[in-house]
A and B are shown apart, each in its own frame.
Chain A
Amino acid sequence: MGSINLVGHAIKHGIINVFKNSRFSMASIGTIAACLYLFGVFFFMLLNLQFNVDEVQSNVGFAVYFNEGSSEETIKRIEQQIRETIDVSDVTYTSAEQAWEDFKAELNEDLVKTFGDDNPLKDSASLTVMLRDVSGQEAAAKAIEKMEGVRKVKQSKEMAEVFGSVNKFVGVISGAIILLLLGISVFLISTTVSTGITVRREEISIMKLIGASDFFIRGPFIFEGILLGLVGAGIPLGILYFCYDFMIEYMNRQFSALSLKFLTMGEIYGKLVPVSLLIGLGIGLCGSYFTVRKHLRN
């Protein structure tokens, strides 16, 4: 049989198996769907939290102040040293004059006049340092504090830390639940496929005696598993598609203090669809392949 015919045979009989074995098929699909629905919800939360962490990281830096009377040359040397030793995304220099100008904008005009031409922030020249990875902020600040000529490092790390820890917590909990459900899904697919093999034992034994190839015998069962996995993955994708707005509302309510921003549906689905389908395919393939290997060895 040509390979196209063999694949056609596997697909046709795989679909027949799913319907013949409908109760077990429904149980498998239901479990995979539940597993991947939860996965989708956690994936949605993780992606959005990560998105917010990235936002914070790109907007929050820390300021480096210098010893009194530091020359521009010293400041440039420190900036160079920071760029060379720390993984920064950006370093911006703010001169004492600029700092005073920025501050003046926030002050009462009468109050500003009392200073005349004096610059009360004459020792406030600073470098604003943005890190690529916010989790390294503590270590980076300590390293910079030790640099010669640095008087003080002022961090704004609280927000990033909150996001970072929430993200980690959600990741660990969701990982554990998903692993458990994946195990149950593989087991259920295996049960479904082995029931199908038992029901068709006579047919399989005749196929073996007339010299059917391994692929001809095993193909339909493998495809049955893949089909169950993919259908099980498709259902929660549909549900999540219609629940996205509700989930955003829920996240806003639960984490109102964090003023969260959200990715668009397209951005989430661009990642969630291939990942979910791959997991569904993987569950189906593993569950059916190992069961078929076990039951159809001889």
Chain B
Amino acid sequence: MMKLKDEQVETVHETEQDRMLEEGKREPIIILKDVAKEYKSGVHALKNISLRIDKGEFVFIVGTSGSGKSTLMKLLLKEIEPTTGSIYVNGFFVHRIRRKQIPKLRRTMGVVFQNFRLLKDRSVYQNIAFAQKAIGVPAVRIRKRVAEVLSMVSLIDKVHAKPMELSGGEQQRVAIARALVNQPMLLLADEPTGNLDPANSWEIMDLLEEINKMGTTVVVVTHNREIVDAMKKRVITIEKGEIISDEQRGGYTHGEY
């Protein structure tokens, strides 16, 4: 059985944990069991999907617009509740944790968005340090850690720049640095190359691959066929709320997106 952090143990029901984890020898970081999401409008965004992602994996989630990819991301972050089914992420049974435990769940993840979501009135340093301050890291450790992640994303010379003074690729690297600064076990990237040119897109994907090699599980939601086909990673394809394929070393093989 996998080891859980003390603060997470209370969120895990032993029997359900055993049942959900017994399926494989590798430690899972995400397990979805028969998860469905129906919005109040009546739209069935996800229809009884089940999937498992293990620690250390690099996974692409692909699909057309409206296929349910964003709903899946929101469920993993507990921004929304599933209609049915159970969701396990990094030691938390997400579908049943209380509101007060949501910050603890999210601290185990880093999130990167298509539009970067940086604070425009703050410097690169402040944008990254902000993520550490928000979870209560002391100032001395913040300075050291921000310098480390800025080196990792090769932006140490831009530490005082404001986001608008950076290129799109640089802004996305700042966003990745912010996502990594709290040393998450899992990095969720929602269309990280959606606003970037091909050269910058490859830079970002290389960076994500490097991060994955250092042990962080990376889940990338993307439309970028060229990148998905070239990287030969696990590809989960969602269509109309259902997983229609899940291939190790896959590609964009299911229709045109």
- Tell me, in angstroms, the Cα distance from A206 to B131 when the chains sit together: 9
Instruction: Name the interface residues of A196-210: CB closer than 8 Å to any CB of B.
Output: 202-203, 205-210
- Tell me, in angstroms, the Cα distance from A202 to B79 when the chains sit together: 15
User: A123-155 vs B: 1/0 string, CB under 8 Å?
Assistant: 000000000000000000000000000000000
Q: Are the C-beta atoms of A2 and B105 separated by less than 8 Å?
A: no
Q: Is B178 an interface residue (CB 8 A)?
A: yes
Distance of A79 from chain B, by nearest CB (Å): 68
Distance of A271 from chain B, by nearest CB (Å): 41
Q: Are the C-beta atoms of B182 and A210 separated by less than 8 Å?
A: yes
Distance of B192 from chain A, by nearest CB (Å): 15
User: Which of the residues B77, B79, B103, B109 comes within 8 Å of A212, measured between beta carbons?
Assistant: B103
- Tell me, in angstroms, the Cα distance from A208 to B133 when the chains sit together: 13
Contacts A/B (CB < 8 Å), 11 sampled: A5-B138, A202-B119, A207-B134, A208-B103, A208-B106, A209-B106, A210-B106, A210-B178, A210-B182, A212-B135, A214-B100
User: B54-96 vs A: 1/0 string, CB under 8 Å?
Assistant: 0000000000000000000000010100000000000000000
Distance of A17 from chain B, by nearest CB (Å): 14
Q: Are the C-beta atoms of B103 and A2 separated by less than 8 Å?
A: no
Q: Are the C-beta atoms of A210 and B100 separated by less than 8 Å?
A: no
Q: Are the C-beta atoms of A1 and B135 separated by less than 8 Å?
A: yes
Residue of B nearest to A203 (CB): B119
- Tell me, in angstroms, the Cα distance from A205 to B119 when the chains sit together: 11
CB-CB under 8 A from B102, the residues of chain A are 211
Q: Report which A residues bind B (CB closer than 8 A).
A: 1-2, 5-6, 9, 202-203, 205-214, 216, 298
Q: Are the C-beta atoms of A211 and B117 separated by less than 8 Å?
A: no
Identify the 4 closest CB pairs spanning chains A and B, nearest first: A1-B136, A212-B134, A211-B107, A211-B106
User: B126-147 vs A: 1/0 string, CB under 8 Å?
Assistant: 0000110111111000000000
User: Which of the residues B103, B130, B178 comes within 8 Å of A211, measured between beta carbons?
Assistant: B103
CB-CB under 8 A from B134, the residues of chain A are 207, 210-213, 216
Q: Are the C-beta atoms of A210 and B111 separated by less than 8 Å?
A: yes
Q: Are the C-beta atoms of A5 and B136 separated by less than 8 Å?
A: yes
Q: Is B254 an interface residue (CB 8 A)?
A: no
Q: Are the C-beta atoms of B119 and A210 separated by less than 8 Å?
A: no
- Tell me, in angstroms, the Cα distance from A207 to B106 when the chains sit together: 10
Distance of A193 from chain B, by nearest CB (Å): 20
A interface majority secondary structure: helix
CB-CB under 8 A from B105, the residues of chain A are 211
Q: Are the C-beta atoms of A210 and B107 separated by less than 8 Å?
A: yes
Q: Report which B residues bind A (CB closer than 8 A).
A: 77, 79, 100, 102-111, 117, 119, 130-131, 133-138, 178, 182
Distance of B230 from chain A, by nearest CB (Å): 29
Q: Are the C-beta atoms of B117 and A206 separated by less than 8 Å?
A: yes
Q: Are the C-beta atoms of B106 and A6 separated by less than 8 Å?
A: no
CB-CB under 8 A from B136, the residues of chain A are 1-2, 5-6, 213, 216
- Tell me, in angstroms, the Cα distance from A91 to B134 when the chains sit together: 70
CB-CB under 8 A from A209, the residues of chain B are 77, 106, 111
CB-CB under 8 A from A213, the residues of chain B are 103, 134-136
Q: Are the C-beta atoms of B117 and A210 separated by less than 8 Å?
A: no
Residue of A nearest to B122 (CB): A203
CB-CB under 8 A from B109, the residues of chain A are 211
Residue of B nearest to A206 (CB): B117
Q: Are the C-beta atoms of A211 and B104 separated by less than 8 Å?
A: yes
Distance of B73 from chain A, by nearest CB (Å): 11
Distance of B11 from chain A, by nearest CB (Å): 14
- Tell me, in angstroms, the Cα distance from A2 to B107 when the chains sit together: 17
CB-CB under 8 A from A205, the residues of chain B are 117
Q: A1-B137, A202-B117 are in contact. List 11 more A-B contacts (CB 8 A).
A: A2-B136, A2-B138, A5-B136, A206-B117, A207-B130, A207-B134, A209-B106, A210-B131, A210-B135, A211-B134, A216-B133
Residue of B nearest to A212 (CB): B134
Residue of B nearest to A3 (CB): B136
Residue of A nearest to B127 (CB): A206
- Tell me, in angstroms, the Cα distance from A259 to B178 when the chains sit together: 73
CB-CB under 8 A from A1, the residues of chain B are 133, 135-138
- Tell me, in angstroms, the Cα distance from A206 to B182 when the chains sit together: 14
Distance of A201 from chain B, by nearest CB (Å): 12
Residue of B nearest to A297 (CB): B99
CB-CB under 8 A from A206, the residues of chain B are 117, 119, 130
- Tell me, in angstroms, the Cα distance from A211 to B104 when the chains sit together: 6
